[in-house]
Amino acid sequence: MGWMSWNAFGYDLSEEVVLATADTMLRSGLYAAGYTYLCLDDCWQGGRDAVGRLRADPARFAHGIAWLAGQLHTMGLKLGIYTCAGPRTCAGEAGSEGFEELDATTFAEWGIDYVKEDYCDAPPERSAALERYRRMGMALRATGRPIVFAVCEWGKRAPWEWAASVGASQWRTSDDIQDAWGGTGGILEVAERTEPLARWAGPGHWNDPDMLVVGLRGRSRAGAAGTIGCSEAEYRSQLSLWAMLAAPLFASCDLRQADATTLALLTAPAVLAIDQDRLGRPGGRVRRAGPVDVWHRELDGGAQAVAILNRSDDPVSLRVTWPSRHGPAPDVINAWSERPLEGGSELLRLEPHATVLYRSASSGVNPIIGLEPER
Ligand code: GAL
């Protein structure tokens, strides 16, 4: 869990931004909730020096990356960085092709804790991607420093089949997420693209459906100019679905300006607990009833999570009943409100694209969902 700079900042990234974001993470409860990585995405670079070592843009990172990592480590935080498997990154900066060992060593010397490697300007074949990522994966491992390795080739060459074998802990499953619900790259499409891949993920090797767009509200690269982003219900659904997918959680809005609602969504304890559940087994869709999808995820210790999602553009009313095997009311909470489900049943009105997320302490009990006519 952490934060990634791309969506909100692009080239407007600087050490000041990173330190102010780190400060916010500590003060706002994000760090206490589990967000620890701050990741510089593309656009931190300032070319290579005379011996070929990467350097940060001195205008925006005056003290250098090693200094920045040191500052974050003192605060109990971790620093991530971005590079690319081609000679140029997606934004045209220096990439790592042919420099894998040197760059891995440089990152380790700087105290980097996470490396995202992109795939712009690189050959399309799966064998080439595998080879390039293997080179970086092995080079990072050879440094002896524990560094999370994140493969970012957008799910184009089935990385779930090979990325763990080249040392990656996570791999993107899709193109860039958009600050939108529908369409390509929207929350629903990315979630549904990732959902069938559950069996490839588990502790230490995760499907990555990309950053959280929660709180962007249209102010980012992740979306067409002039749009207002997602509704609160849609942002809540992204967190609910990412939790069901056991996805890495990287916030990407400008946390320095995040309002109380955004912070409350990002730090909802019972939702994050589902995402980070120790069993590490992603869930998936188990039922479709008209506009409503039901997702199920098995949790540690025999518990389970159930998400009920309204895919349609209209509100839906439904009655959810949890049959109990052990007495009058089963042990079920709404993971967003953390309130127990009184009497094991409730009538819900789900807004368009809204999700209700439950956690049940006992397994083997499936809720019965009955659609009610809209009045
Ligand atoms: C894309 C990548 C994004 C971001 C961007 C930076 O390829 O998917 O997450 O890293 O490049 O240029």
CATH number of the domain within which 290 lies: 2.60.40.1180
Report the CATH number that the domain containing residue 238 is assigned in CATH. Answer: 3.20.20.70
Where among 275, 296, 328 does a domain terminate? 275
Q: What is the per-residue pLDDT for 360?
A: 93
For ligand 1, atom 8, name the residue with the nearest CA.
Answer: 176
Q: Say yes or no: 253 and 331 in one domain.
A: no
Q: Say yes or no: 249 and 164 in one domain.
A: yes
Q: What is the per-residue pLDDT for 28?
A: 97
Encoded tokens for 134? 């293997």
Q: What is the per-residue pLDDT for 179?
A: 96
Question: What is the C-alpha to C-alpha distance for residues 242 and 94, in angstroms, rounded to an integer?
Answer: 32
Where among 220, 253, 275 does a domain terminate? 275
- Residues 313-353 have pLDDT tens digits of 999 999 999 887 655 556 899 999 999 988 888 999 999 99
Closest ligand 1 atom, CA of 6?
4
Where among 275, 292, 320 does a domain terminate? 275
Residue to substitute in 4, 11, 13, 42 for testing ligand 1 pocket (most ligand atoms within 8 angstroms of CB): 42
CA of residue 90 to ligand 1 center, whole Å = 6
Q: Which domain holds residue 311?
A: 284-373
| Single-letter code of the amino acid located at 85 | A
Residues classed as catalytic: 118, 176
For ligand 1, atom 6, name the residue with the nearest CA.
Answer: 42
Residue to substitute in 3, 4, 6 for testing ligand 1 pocket (most ligand atoms within 8 angstroms of CB): 6
Closest ligand 1 atom, CA of 152?
8
Q: What is the per-residue pLDDT for 373?
A: 77
Closest ligand 1 atom, CA of 175?
8
| Pocket lining for ligand 1, CB < 6 angstroms | 6, 41-42, 82, 89-91, 118, 120, 152, 154, 176
Closest ligand 1 atom, CA of 90?
12
Which parts of the chain have pLDDT scores under 50?
none
Burial class (CB in 10 A: 0-12, 13-18, 19+), 207: buried
Count the Cβ atoms, other than its own, within 10 Å of residue 272. 19
Q: Say yes or no: 55 and 193 in one domain.
A: yes
Q: Say yes or no: 205 and 313 in one domain.
A: no
CA of residue 319 to ligand 1 center, whole Å = 42
CA of residue 176 to ligand 1 center, whole Å = 7
pTM of the entire structure? 0.97
Q: What is the per-residue pLDDT for 64?
A: 98
Please name which of 330, 360, 357, 362 lies closest in space to residue 343, comparing C-alpha atoms: 330
**Length of the chain in residues, anyone?**
375
CA of residue 345 to ligand 1 center, whole Å = 44
For ligand 1, atom 3, name the residue with the nearest CA.
Answer: 176
Q: What is the per-residue pLDDT for 330?
A: 64
Q: Say yes or no: 260 and 288 in one domain.
A: no
Q: Say yes or no: 292 and 269 in one domain.
A: no
Count the Cβ atoms, other than its own, within 10 Å of residue 237. 27
* Dihedral sign computed on CA atoms, order 226, 227, 232, 235: negative
CA of residue 4 to ligand 1 center, whole Å = 11
For ligand 1, atom 9, name the residue with the nearest CA.
Answer: 176
Question: What is the C-alpha to C-alpha distance for residues 137 and 131, in angstroms, rounded to an integer?
Answer: 10
Q: What is the per-residue pLDDT for 366?
A: 78
Q: Say yes or no: 261 and 318 in one domain.
A: no
Q: What is the per-residue pLDDT for 325?
A: 65
Q: Say yes or no: 258 and 321 in one domain.
A: no
Please name which of 86, 248, 93, 278 lies closest in space to residue 173, comparing C-alpha atoms: 248
Domain count, the chain: 2
Q: Say yes or no: 242 and 138 in one domain.
A: yes
Q: Say yes or no: 228 and 327 in one domain.
A: no
For ligand 1, atom 1, name the residue with the nearest CA.
Answer: 90
Q: Say yes or no: 220 and 311 in one domain.
A: no
Q: Say yes or no: 141 and 194 in one domain.
A: yes
